Structure 1
Amino acid sequence: MIYQRTQREFTARKEEELAAGDELNALLARSLPDLGRKWDNHLPVFLSAPSLARILWLDSIYRKALEVPGRVVEFGSQWGASLNVLMLLKMIHEPWNASRQIISFSTFDQGFVSVNSKDGPDAQVGDYAVAQGWSQALERILQIHAARSPIGARENFRIVEGDVRETFPRWLDENPEALISHAHFDMDVYEPTRDMLRLVLPRMPKGAILVFDELNCPSFPGETQAVMEVLGVHGLALRKSSYQPYSAYCVIE
């Protein structure tokens, strides 16, 4: 699979796929005013197979640790698509579970704050940065979605913005009771992945889920090297999904 850079991201999509996506984008913008107040019911007509596959993947891993106590932590959220899906899955599968907060640790408009030689020649500081101030807009979006929850927005999600190497240790100190049932690694690069693995494992009981978004991925070799360094892969029961090319998970045993 060959990746190419598009703006501050990498994509494996070919030019014809990108052009088709641009056309769908234009059709959505043109059609949205006509979709009415229940516009969200009609959005699947614009949904692509990769986007739907991503949702199916997130649902499958969420359900694997439903009986494990703890919070869901996402390291690296970018625009918040996976974060929102995880929160909606929480509201669907366990709407009354006030202890299952979905927590995002992400740099948002900073993107990668550092890269290491282990990340290969292509990754650059600032890659995957989103629009300035997007985290505030995302928080409002999640609040609107969580308004349908029987337990309220505060118990459903939290966004922690900044360099995770600074924010996550502070969060651990502030929440000494917190267990983690799902740890979703989507930072792509070596150093923060390595450091967060070391910090998160002592809070994860047996049956909890580690999720890696770019495992065995040539464009982001640092994530796999961090897993090899901290966990080792010999004897580690890693499993991948048919829905995603590089996403994988393992269960804490």
Structure 2
Amino acid sequence: MSRPALDRAATAADRLDRALAAHAAGDLPAATDGYRAALAADPAEADALNLLGLAHYQRGEVDAALALLDRACRVAPDAVPARINLGTLHQDLGDLERAETHYRHALARAPDEVAALNNLGNTLTDLDQATAALALFDRALDHATGRARAEVLYNQHALLLDRVGPAVAERAVTEAVTLAPDHALAWIALAMLRAARGATDAADAALAVVAELGASAAALLDSAQTMRPWLVEDGARLLGSTIGGLAFALEHAHEPGLVLEFGVRFGHSLRAIAARAGQHVHGFDTFTGLPRAWYGHAPGLYSTGGVLPAMPPDVTLHAGLFADTLPGVLAAHPGAAVRFANIDCDLYESTRDVLTLLAPRLRPGSVLAFDEYLMNPDWRADEYRAFQKAVAHHGWRPEILGVSPFSKQAVIRLA
């Protein structure tokens, strides 16, 4: 390489290093400018494409992130970090099959890559493949150290709680907080596991650590303090994964009636419900994403592009706003009560509409699972708020059967 070419390469590397330093410091605008400058000099710079895509994702700019990460993977098909980032983005958007493909692509090139093993374990957890997910977490723990190991242990604990028991799950999160003392989610998991077995002083000690983490953990602490009496005083079950929570809910939904899900997206939880319900199931979604912004994301988040997911024959999908599609289904089943409803509406307005329409069909014994009931930054404003208002308006007597800080779920039976 000639001297001018060497100088240009050094300049490009320095530019990328400065952008990466800004990114690490949390200065996303400076990082974004630096990555764009690097790409102006070399549009095929795979690291800059990957990191710029990650920066856009962190800013909530999903479409730009997808395009850049996809370019990074096409420019450098064997680049593991870009492949993991692209898988993570698809996973967060609920496209689990596509996420699995990217993680497996990364693992084919780096079989011991902890992030890929951990993320694929989470993906298979949500795809109702718990045994395979646990094996992946174990593989990740063979190689993970420090905070990466803490993340694996935290993710693994939910399945351990579902499949093995609370004692093993508690050991996992105890190790996690030892490795990462500022891991607020792991501390809350530990506090709830302690509360569920009656060790209230130890639970409070764990919550005191969360309180010391400051404002960034305030909503999480508020959620935990709300859950604590449900576990200690009301005897609610501490739940792990989303699928585990749905299975638990259906086990307690004994009254005959309709089985419904609101918020289908790619259909993973609906297929899990259908596999366990023993009857026909109805799923409702616009399939064009959220109708308004939510937690910094633009309207349209979680869209499938209007494409309805493939479903088994005992599932019927209803595309459109809940307020438009649910009345027709209820009219087609006059007098039928609600046996079980999975309410994954996210937004207050959508949850309110569903509860208003279902109210005449909700009877003692009806079971509701809320998918975003707790643990979000503004959790009191969405599903939780809609249900509390419905309880006050209709005079319902809710019984908290189970709750999961990991999956944000609450399973509630009307008494």
- Both proteins in one fold, TM over 0.5: yes
* Alignment deviations for residues 84-105 of structure 1 (CA, whole Å, 9 cap, x no partner): 1111113xxx4xxxxx321101
| Equivalent-residue separation in structure 2 for 1:177 and 1:7 (angstroms) | 43
Q: Does 1:171 align with 2:258?
A: no
Secondary structure of 1:171 counterpart? helix
Q: Does the 8 Å contact 1:112/1:125 carry over to 2?
A: yes
Q: Does 1:73 align with 2:149?
A: no
Aligned to 1:83: 270
* Alignment deviations for residues 124-151 of structure 1 (CA, whole Å, 9 cap, x no partner): 3211112442x0xx23xx23xxxxxxxx
Aligned to 2:23: none
Q: Does 1:204 align with 2:362?
A: yes
| Equivalent-residue separation in structure 1 for 2:85 and 2:132 (angstroms) | 17
| Equivalent-residue separation in structure 2 for 1:203 and 1:174 (angstroms) | 13
Q: CA deviation at 1:55?
A: 1.9
| Equivalent-residue separation in structure 1 for 2:61 and 2:242 (angstroms) | 20
Percent identity between the two aligned chains: 25
Aligned to 1:157: 315
Rate the CA distance shift 1:227–1:174 in 2: closer, same or farther, 3 A. Answer: same
Q: CA deviation at 1:28?
A: 3.1
| Equivalent-residue separation in structure 1 for 2:273 and 2:365 (angstroms) | 18
Rate the CA distance shift 1:237–1:245 in 2: closer, same or farther, 3 A. Answer: same
Unpaired segments ≥5 residues, structure 2: 1-57, 64-80, 89-98, 109-126, 138-154, 160-240
| Equivalent-residue separation in structure 1 for 2:100 and 2:369 (angstroms) | 30
Aligned to 2:169: none
Which of 370, 391, 398 lines up with 1:231 in the alignment?
A: 391
| Equivalent-residue separation in structure 2 for 1:165 and 1:89 (angstroms) | 27
Greater RCO, CA 8 A, separation 6+: 1
Q: Does 1:64 align with 2:252?
A: yes
| Equivalent-residue separation in structure 2 for 1:61 and 1:197 (angstroms) | 18
| Equivalent-residue separation in structure 1 for 2:397 and 2:347 (angstroms) | 23
Q: Does the 8 Å contact 1:113/1:163 carry over to 2?
A: no
Q: Does the 8 Å contact 2:401/2:413 carry over to 1?
A: no
Which of 273, 285, 292 lines up with 1:106 in the alignment?
A: 285
Count, aligned residues:
205
Comparing 172-181 and 69-78, the one that deviates more: 172-181
| Equivalent-residue separation in structure 2 for 1:234 and 1:68 (angstroms) | 17
| Equivalent-residue separation in structure 1 for 2:103 and 2:369 (angstroms) | 34
Q: CA deviation at 1:73?
A: 0.6
Rate the CA distance shift 1:6–1:124 in 2: closer, same or farther, 3 A. Answer: closer
Which of 372, 376, 388 lines up with 1:214 in the alignment?
A: 372
Secondary structure of 2:328 counterpart? helix
Rate the CA distance shift 1:122–1:201 in 2: closer, same or farther, 3 A. Answer: same
Unpaired segments ≥5 residues, structure 1: 9-14, 33-39, 95-99, 144-152
| Equivalent-residue separation in structure 1 for 2:101 and 2:263 (angstroms) | 25
Which of 98, 102, 110 lines up with 1:26 in the alignment?
A: 102
Structure 2 residue identity aligned to 1:225: R
Aligned to 2:132: 45
Q: Does the 8 Å contact 1:240/1:246 carry over to 2?
A: no
Per the normalisation by structure 1, the TM-score is 0.67
Per the normalisation by structure 2, the TM-score is 0.43
Aligned to 2:303: 129
| Equivalent-residue separation in structure 2 for 1:7 and 1:44 (angstroms) | 31
| Equivalent-residue separation in structure 1 for 2:269 and 2:107 (angstroms) | 25
Q: Does 1:190 align with 2:277?
A: no
Rate the CA distance shift 1:19–1:240 in 2: closer, same or farther, 3 A. Answer: farther
Secondary structure of 2:355 counterpart? helix
Q: Which has the higher helix share?
A: 2
Q: Does 1:250 align with 2:305?
A: no
